[in-house]
Amino acid sequence: MRIPLDISNEIPLYRQIENWFRTNIQSGSLPAETKLPSTRELANELGVSRITVKNAYTNLESDGVVYTREGSGTYVSPPIPDLGVRPPIQPATWPLWQMEVEDDYAIEPAPPYLSPSDTIAFIGVGDPREFPLKEFARTVREVFDHDGIEALEYGGLHAGYPPLRETIAHILASQGIAARPGEVLVTGGSQQALALVCQALLKPGDTVLVEKPTYNFALELFRSLKLKITGIPVDSQGMQVEYLEPVLQKQHPRLIYTIPVFQNPSGMCMSISRRRQLLELAARYNVPILEDDFVSDLRYEGRSLPAIKSLDPGGQVIYTGTFSKMLMPGLRIGYLLADGPIFDRLLRLKWVQDLATSNLMQHVLDTYVTVGRYQSHVRRSTRLYRKRRDAMQMAIRRYLPAGVTYAVPHGGLFLWLRLPEGMTCTELLPKAMHQGVEFSPGTRYFPDPDEGLPFIRLNFATHTPEEIDEGIRRLGKAMRDA
Amino acid sequence: MRIPLDISNEIPLYRQIENWFRTNIQSGSLPAETKLPSTRELANELGVSRITVKNAYTNLESDGVVYTREGSGTYVSPPIPDLGVRPPIQPATWPLWQMEVEDDYAIEPAPPYLSPSDTIAFIGVGDPREFPLKEFARTVREVFDHDGIEALEYGGLHAGYPPLRETIAHILASQGIAARPGEVLVTGGSQQALALVCQALLKPGDTVLVEKPTYNFALELFRSLKLKITGIPVDSQGMQVEYLEPVLQKQHPRLIYTIPVFQNPSGMCMSISRRRQLLELAARYNVPILEDDFVSDLRYEGRSLPAIKSLDPGGQVIYTGTFSKMLMPGLRIGYLLADGPIFDRLLRLKWVQDLATSNLMQHVLDTYVTVGRYQSHVRRSTRLYRKRRDAMQMAIRRYLPAGVTYAVPHGGLFLWLRLPEGMTCTELLPKAMHQGVEFSPGTRYFPDPDEGLPFIRLNFATHTPEEIDEGIRRLGKAMRDA
C-alpha cells in the first residue's frame, strides 16, 4: 500500500495512516473484507515503527472501521453509515444574517503554522526543548495519585484552585509584590486576564493608552473590542510618561496598558521615576493601570525595579502575570491580581466567560511549582537565555549591515531591531523566509501598523547559539537581497 | 504540636499542615532553629499518613522556610523576608474609578463550595466516582511518551488541535450531524462557546430569545453582556414555538438560544415538527440559532431526534457541545460547530480572548477519545443514570407530598419539580440544607427569577440509588417543615 506520509506535517504519522485507510474505505477503494497488511509488513514498507501502524489499526478497529480475525489478520468491516462528507455550501446561500457579519477590525492572519522544517524561526516564547518534561510528567502522575478524581471535577466556581492562589501569592511576595491569595484570580493565560479587564472596564468607543510599540495580541484584543487606541512612545527608559498628561486631559482614556519590564517588543524597562509619575498621573486623572508583567524574572543584568503594583497604595493597578513564558505555554494558566470592587467584577466575568480554568492543570501546576523550584527554573533559564542574547548580538555584528540598530535589553526574550534606512519589514519578510529564517514584523506592534515598517522583532531564546548564528547569517543574506 | 486539621476542607491535609507551620513561623510563634517533630511523630499525633507530613515538610523546605540537618532533623530557618502579609485597605480609600465600578447585573452568589460532608447534594453534573480515572491517567502518560514536548507548546493559533477537531467531527457524524473538521472550533468548555457567540453577534441592549426555564449560566452570561432576555415557555414538547412569531416581529431579537434535548433544567425534548418550525421562523426573520447540545447522548428511552443543526441547509445554526458532562469537567474542553463567515469571526474572537485552549488537554482528550470508546462510555453512563433516575422517581413517590409534580425526562441529568401549591424554593432551601440535602432553586433558571419560585431542579446522576433514597427522604422532611 502506498500511503503518502508527510513527516513535516503536524498530524502524527499514525493518524495520517489511519486517515488514509478511513478515506479509502469510505470511498470504496478498499471494499469490505479486504485484508490489511500486517503491522510488520506495513511498518517496513512505510519506514515507520510498528507501534505507529499498530496505533492506527487500533483506532480504526475501535471505531468499527476494520476488525480482527483471531490468528488471521485485520479486515475492512462491512459498510458503515455515511460519516458525513458533504459538499461545501455555496457562499451565495449563506443565511442573510451571516452575510451581515462584517469584520471591521483587521486581525493579521496567524503566521503559517507549518514552516519548512529547516527554517530558523526567531518567534514564539521560550525554548520548548528546555521544558522540564520528565519532571512535569512525574508531577501529573503525582496529582492523579494524590488528588485522584478531585482534580478532574469542576473544582467549583471560584477564583481558582485555592492552594495555587496561595502559591502565586508566595511567588509574588518573593518578588516584592505583597499579594493576598484572595486577590489572585487564575485565568486562561494572561491573554484572558487582559480580555477580562477590558470587558470589565471598557465599552466600545472608549480609549485605551498603550506603549508604542506594544504586545500585538493586546492590540488585536483592543481592536476586536472596538476601542480607540492611543500610543505613547517608548524610549530606553520605557513609556515616555512626559507625553501622557496632555493625552489624559484631552482623550479621557479609560485604561492605561503597560508592560514595564523587558517590554514586548522593545525589551526596555520603565525607570522607577517614570513608574511613580505614571501612578501619580493615573490617580490624578482617575484612570486604572493594567500592568502586564509577562517576563520580569528573566533578568540578565542590573537590579530589578519594584513593580508598579508594589508602589500602588491600593486599588489603582491591576497586575497580570503568567506561567506560560517560564514553564509550559500549553498549560494556558495565567493570573491577575486586583483589589477593591473590581476584583469581584472580574471574577464574575470569568465565571460567565468559561466557568473556570482547567482544574487538572491548576492542580498539576500547583504541585509542580513551589517558590524554590520556580526560582531555580528561573535561574536556569536566565543563564541559558543570557548566553543566547549575547550570541545573537555577536551574530548581528558579524552578519548584519551597519545600518541595523538596537538597544540591548537587560532581560526578556526579544531584540527589537531598526532596519537600515529605506528597508521595510514587509519587504524583508518574504526574502527572509526564502533564506530559511523567520522574524516577527514590526507592523504587528503599533496601533498604526505603518509606524512599524522599519522594525523587526527577534526572539533570541528559542534557539541554540549555533542556530542563532546560522539564522542571523541567513537574515544578513536576506537584507542584502532587499 | 496541635495542628487543627479539617478533613472536610478542600485544602489538602499536607497543605493545611504546611500553612500552619508557615503562619506560625512567620508570626514568630516558632522561632528560628526550633526543631520540628519527626514526620513519624507528627503523623501519629495527627492521625494522618507519614506521606502527608513529608509532603508538607518538603514544600516548606523547598521554599527555605525550614531546613534539614543531616541525621538530626528538620529546623526552622533563620528569619526570611516578609511574605507580604499586609492589612486590608479601607473601602473608603479605593481610587475613584474603583468606586464607580457598579455591578448592574445581579449574579447569584455561587453555592457554598463546602457543604457539610454528609449533605446529599443533588447538584453538579455527572458522578465523579464514575470517571475512568485510571484509564485517563494512562492516557496522559501515553501523550507524554508519544507527543512529548509538543503537547506542552502553544500549539499555534488555530481552531484547536487538528486531530481532536477530526475526532469531534467523527463523533458528531456518528450522531447524524455532518460536520467537517474545518467547521469545529475547540473552546474552553461550552460556556466559552456561548460567550464567543454572544460577543460575535450581539451588543449591549440587543435581545436574545431563550427557553424559560433555561440554563442558569447562559442567563448570567446574557445579563453580564447587558442583553435583553425574552423567555419563551417550555412544555413537554420543548420550546413552545407557536409563541415565537409575535416576539420575532415585535422585538427583533438577534439570537435564539435553545437546548432542544433533555433541556436544562426541564429535561424536555423539542419535537421534530417544532424543530423544523423554529428553523423556518429563524430563516424568515433572519435570526441565528444557537443550539446547545449539552447531553443529548444520555438517552434512557425513545428514539433520538435529529439535531436542529442537521436539519439546517447551511449556516443558520451554530451548534455547541462539550465533553464535560460525559467525561471530566475538570478538562474544560467544549466545541462549537459553525459554517459560513461567522466561523472566522468566532475564531478570531477566541484568539484575542485567550489565544488557545490548553494544548496538553486537547492532546490527552484526543488520545483518550475514539468514537468507539466514547460510545461505550456513553452506554455505560446511560445504564447507570437510568437506574438512578428511576430510583429518584420511586423515592419521590415514597417520600414527597402528593402536591409535587413533574414530567419524566427520557434522558439527561435532571428532574424538574413543581413544589406543592404555596411552597417556594427559597423558603425550602434553608430547611433542606438543615436536613442535609441540597438542590438547585428554580429562581436561577428564569429571566425573571420570581417565576422560578415554585420549582426546584434535582440532579439524579450524581448519587447512588441508596443515597438518592436517603436524600429524597430528607427532602420530604424539609417539605413537611415548610
Concatenate the DSSP letters of all residues of B394-431 into one string.
HHHHHHS-TT-B-PPPSBSSEEEEEPPTT--HHHHHHH
**What is the rounded average pLDDT of the residues B19-46?**
84
pLDDT of A88 reads 63
| pLDDT over 80 at A33, yes or no | yes
Kind plus residue range of the DSSP H or E element containing B417? strand B414-418
Chain A hits for B150, Cβ within 8 Å? 128
Residue B299 DSSP label: B
Q: What are the residue boundaries of the structural domains of chain B, listed by start?
A: 13-76, 120-131+375-481, 133-370
Of B128, B137, B217, the CB nearest to A144: B137
Computed on alpha carbons and rounded to an integer, the radius of gyration of chain A in Å comes to 26
Average pLDDT, rounded, for chain B: 87
Angle between helices A244-251 and A272-284 (to 10 degrees): 20
Q: How confident is the model at residue A347 (pLDDT cuts 50, 70, 90)?
A: very high
**What is the rounded average pLDDT of the residues B240-267?**
96
Q: How confident is the model at residue A324 (pLDDT cuts 50, 70, 90)?
A: low
**Three-state DSSP state, A367:** helix
Q: How confident is the model at residue B66 (pLDDT cuts 50, 70, 90)?
A: confident
Closest residue in B to A219 (Cα) is B352
pLDDT of A327 reads 64
| pLDDT over 70 at A375, yes or no | yes
Residue A444 DSSP label: G
Chain A hits for B83, Cβ within 8 Å? 170, 173-174
| pLDDT over 90 at B153, yes or no | no
Tell which of B328, B353, B365, B371 to mutate to test the A interface (max A CBs under 10 Å).
B353
**What is the rounded average pLDDT of the residues B397-404?**
96
Chain A hits for B99, Cβ within 8 Å? 341
The span from the CA of B388 to the CA of B383, in Å, is 9
| pLDDT over 90 at B330, yes or no | no
Q: Cβ A170–B360 below 8 Å, yes or no?
A: no
Q: A86 CB contacts (<8 Å, ≥6 apart)?
A: B178, B180
**What is the rounded average pLDDT of the residues B401-421?**
95
CATH class for the region spanning B133-370? alpha beta
A13-76, what's its fold?
A: Arc Repressor Mutant, subunit A (1.10.10)
pLDDT of A112 reads 45
Chain B hits for A11, Cβ within 8 Å? 162-163
Residue A151 DSSP label: G
- Say which residue the cell 468499527 belongs to: A64
The span from the CA of B60 to the CA of A477, in Å, is 54
Chain B hits for A217, Cβ within 8 Å? 351-352, 355
Q: How confident is the model at residue B157 (pLDDT cuts 50, 70, 90)?
A: low
Other CB atoms closer than 10 Å to residue B44's CB: what's the count?
13
Chain A hits for B101, Cβ within 8 Å? 200-201, 340-342, 345
Chain A hits for B137, Cβ within 8 Å? 140-141, 144
| pLDDT over 50 at B230, yes or no | yes
Of A11, A173, A340, the CB nearest to B94: A340
Closest approach of chain A CAs to the CA of B329, in angstroms? Answer: 5
Closest approach of chain A CAs to the CA of B422, in angstroms? Answer: 32
| pLDDT over 70 at B408, yes or no | yes
**Three-state DSSP state, B117:** coil
Q: Are A482 and A431 in contact (CB under 8 A)?
A: yes
Among B14-18, B330-334, B367-371, B413-417, top mean pLDDT goes to B413-417
Percent of chain B whose predicted confidence (pLDDT) is above 70: 91
| pLDDT over 90 at B479, yes or no | yes
Comparing B341 with A2, the larger pLDDT belongs to: B341
Architecture of domain B120-131+375-481: Alpha-Beta Complex (3.90)
Comparing B80 with A196, the larger pLDDT belongs to: A196
**What is the rounded average pLDDT of the residues A203-213?**
96
The span from the CA of A14 to the CA of A424, in Å, is 43
Is the ipTM higher than 0.85? The answer is no
Q: Cβ B360–A188 below 8 Å, yes or no?
A: no
Q: Cβ A153–B328 below 8 Å, yes or no?
A: yes
Closest approach of chain A CAs to the CA of B477, in angstroms? Answer: 28
Closest residue in B to A348 (Cα) is B107
**What is the rounded average pLDDT of the residues B70-84?**
69
Other CB atoms closer than 10 Å to residue B253's CB: what's the count?
24
Of B94, B172, B330, the CB nearest to A155: B330
pLDDT of B113 reads 39
Q: Cβ B348–A224 below 8 Å, yes or no?
A: yes
pLDDT of B425 reads 96
Q: Which residues of B195-209 are buried (b: 16+ CB within 10 A; e: fewer)?
A: bbbbbbbbeeebbbb
pLDDT of B353 reads 87
H helices, E strands: number in chain A: 16, 15
The span from the CA of A305 to the CA of B81, in Å, is 17
Q: What confidence tens digit (pLDDT) does each residue in A223-277 have?
A: 999 999 999 999 999 999 999 999 999 999 999 999 999 999 999 999 999 999 9
Chain A hits for B203, Cβ within 8 Å? 204
Name the amino acid, one letter, at A391. A
Closest residue in A to B104 (Cα) is A345
Size of interface A-B (CB pairs under 8 A): 336
Chain A hits for B373, Cβ within 8 Å? 62
| pLDDT over 50 at B82, yes or no | no
Of A85, A348, A360, the CB nearest to B331: A360
Burial class of A60 by CB neighbour count within 10 A (0 to 12, 13 to 18, 19+): buried
Chain A hits for B371, Cβ within 8 Å? 62-64
Of B140, B189, B358, the CB nearest to A140: B140
Closest approach of chain A CAs to the CA of B16, in angstroms? Answer: 10
CA distances from B357 to A101, B185, B363 (A): 25, 10, 11
Q: What confidence tens digit (pLDDT) does each residue in A112-135 have?
A: 434 566 899 998 877 777 777 888
Chain A hits for B353, Cβ within 8 Å? 191-192, 195, 221, 353
Of A63, A147, A315, the CB nearest to B89: A315
**What is the rounded average pLDDT of the residues A303-320?**
90
Q: Cβ B170–A83 below 8 Å, yes or no?
A: yes
**What is the rounded average pLDDT of the residues A195-204?**
94
| pLDDT over 50 at A331, yes or no | yes
Chain B hits for A204, Cβ within 8 Å? 203
Q: Cβ A224–B128 below 8 Å, yes or no?
A: no
Tell which of A26, A85, A152 to mutate to test the B interface (max B CBs under 10 Å).
A152
Of B10, B97, B330, the CB nearest to A360: B330
Of A144, A169, A349, the CB nearest to B133: A144
| pLDDT over 90 at A352, yes or no | no
Q: What confidence tens digit (pLDDT) does each residue in A439-481 have?
A: 999 999 999 999 999 999 999 999 999 999 999 999 999 999 8
**What is the rounded average pLDDT of the residues A347-355?**
88
Q: Cβ B62–A371 below 8 Å, yes or no?
A: yes
